[in-house]
Structure 1
């Protein structure tokens, strides 16, 4: 029996930079490889900074049956329906302070009836890329809002994201973190899709991929090993809770350093190829 199909085992994969190629496409080979894993009995799901609205068009034909982790752990959700099974939102006062300091962030929230992505009328090139991508796949959450602090006061905010020039982003993140204290996690990360512009992200301290994996594992009544696959700094919290940590060759240096295995790059379908090979090796050894 493969470790992939061992009783209670859970496999969690990041999307961008891991399963997806650099142009955000999922190759036919990767799709087929993922489906072979599921068909073999692998308990497979994905954990992403993206929403279910964004995941669905990026995973055409992939048989993801388990709940997914969206927005870095802000939600555990049903991929097909978008229903949120777990929500980790910011405290309203913390969200208000962060919006005040960031000025014009993108605000991802739940208004009591539906998901929203609020944005102001003036978008810099980094934020323009973010909103433009969502317009291309007709994301129904998009909502232009003149008063983002009012949004933070009336809705459950799960993520704030401000696009800041690369050289300024670490200092901006440090300033916001100092102002909100333990009420939020704040970090800056380079965005490969929008060169020159980094994301400064603010989320609940409970909204991490690692915490969400442990919650999902409990809900699924799984008690075996955890294997995770990721490439970026937002994947490090799930590396921290995993027994096996797989990174593609294009992963950030800190992620490669924390990995148990480094595969080929995302553009070569390195992670899926490695997983499929591991399954095939175990089957040959078992004479299947």
Structure 2
């Protein structure tokens, strides 16, 4: 393998949203041996680099499911944004079905409901099997605001009115399956959209070219690396497009069954440094 693309939440990061020491060591060893290690995440670049910087890892980042690609030193290499009218129409659909959503842009991620943003992160942590106390989960959720990973804004109209804003993704959440399904069906009727998920109760809405699989394929092609020599590691629905194009797909032990069914290998869980174990398997 000449390239490894790694998802973040539920994969590279443990349930504390940190990169484990074992994962750091394995990635650095792969890099030392000349393997290109790329992060492929639904997070925007800013939020993605927070745990990477803490772990002293330097990697290119495919962010917002492929809407933006940045080199290891932060140079923007590729962008696929959504036009204002498409975002407005998608927003109207989500509002009509009472589905909370955040907007991801070239200037960061935004929410128009501070408390709902907190509740959503807690719900995601609970659904991923976290056994932390609710107080600790709230601290993790509030950290998104404190670090600037997500900003609170009174009304999304201010973003639509700003000509310097480019829209990358709508990240929608609801525990109501019926509302989420109805909204998804309407969104799927729109042109040039890709609809995926990174948790059981969310929708990730991006440009049709902003999918992890397509972004990984473009990035590998730029380095003249055939997809047969690319390994991908992931756990959820927005990783499926990578699994369909990679030469070797590794599912986390905590991955959803659909991801595991497409994998050539199932490693340990994110809390047990499954990424490191998968990397050492190909290095040995």
TM-score in terms of structure 2 length? 0.81
Q: CA deviation at 1:98?
A: 0.6
Are the aligned partners of 2:194 and 2:211 in contact in 1 as well (CA < 8 Å)? no
Equivalent residue number for residue 38 of structure 1: 31
Are the aligned partners of 2:250 and 2:265 in contact in 1 as well (CA < 8 Å)? yes
Equivalent residue number for residue 101 of structure 2: 105
Structure 2 distance, partners of 1:50, 1:169, is: 21
| Residue of 75, 89, 92 corresponding to 2:81 | 89
Q: Deviations over 1:51-87 (max 9, x none)?
A: 222222212344434x210011010013443x42211
Query: Residues 61 and 189 (structure 1 numbering): CA distance in 2 closer, same or farther, change over 3 Å?
Result: closer
Structure 1 distance, partners of 2:198, 2:246, is: 22
Equivalent residue number for residue 283 of structure 1: none
Aligned-residue CA RMSD in angstroms? 2.3
Q: Deviations over 1:157-180 (max 9, x none)?
A: 1101122124232222122323xx
| Residue of 142, 146, 153 corresponding to 1:136 | 146
Structure 2 distance, partners of 1:61, 1:175, is: 41
Q: CA deviation at 1:127?
A: 4.2
* Gaps in structure 1 of 5+ consecutive residues: 192-197, 281-288
Q: Deviations over 1:257-284 (max 9, x none)?
A: 000001111111123113214313xxxx
Q: Deviations over 1:17-55 (max 9, x none)?
A: 112112212111211111111112111111011122222
Are the aligned partners of 1:169 and 1:188 in contact in 2 as well (CA < 8 Å)? no
- Secondary structure at 1:23's aligned position in 2? coil
Q: Does 1:151 align with 2:159?
A: yes
Q: Does 1:175 align with 2:177?
A: no
Are the aligned partners of 2:81 and 2:168 in contact in 1 as well (CA < 8 Å)? yes
Query: Residues 188 and 263 (structure 1 numbering): CA distance in 2 closer, same or farther, change over 3 Å?
Result: closer
* Gaps in structure 2 of 5+ consecutive residues: 125-140
Aligned residues: 257
Q: Does 1:22 align with 2:10?
A: no
Query: Residues 189 and 235 (structure 1 numbering): CA distance in 2 closer, same or farther, change over 3 Å?
Result: closer
Are the aligned partners of 1:35 and 1:62 in contact in 2 as well (CA < 8 Å)? no
Q: CA deviation at 1:138?
A: 3.4
Equivalent residue number for residue 211 of structure 2: 208
Matches for 1:241-256 after TM superposition, within 5 Å: 241-256=245-260
Are the aligned partners of 1:99 and 1:149 in contact in 2 as well (CA < 8 Å)? no
Q: CA deviation at 1:214?
A: 1.4
Equivalent residue number for residue 70 of structure 1: 63
Q: Does 1:220 align with 2:213?
A: no
TM-score in terms of structure 1 length? 0.80
Are the aligned partners of 1:228 and 1:242 in contact in 2 as well (CA < 8 Å)? yes
Are the aligned partners of 1:22 and 1:267 in contact in 2 as well (CA < 8 Å)? yes
- Secondary structure at 1:278's aligned position in 2? helix
Q: Deviations over 1:204-230 (max 9, x none)?
A: 011000110111112223336211111
Q: CA deviation at 1:188?
A: 4.8
Q: Deviations over 1:120-150 (max 9, x none)?
A: 14642544659734113233x625142x245
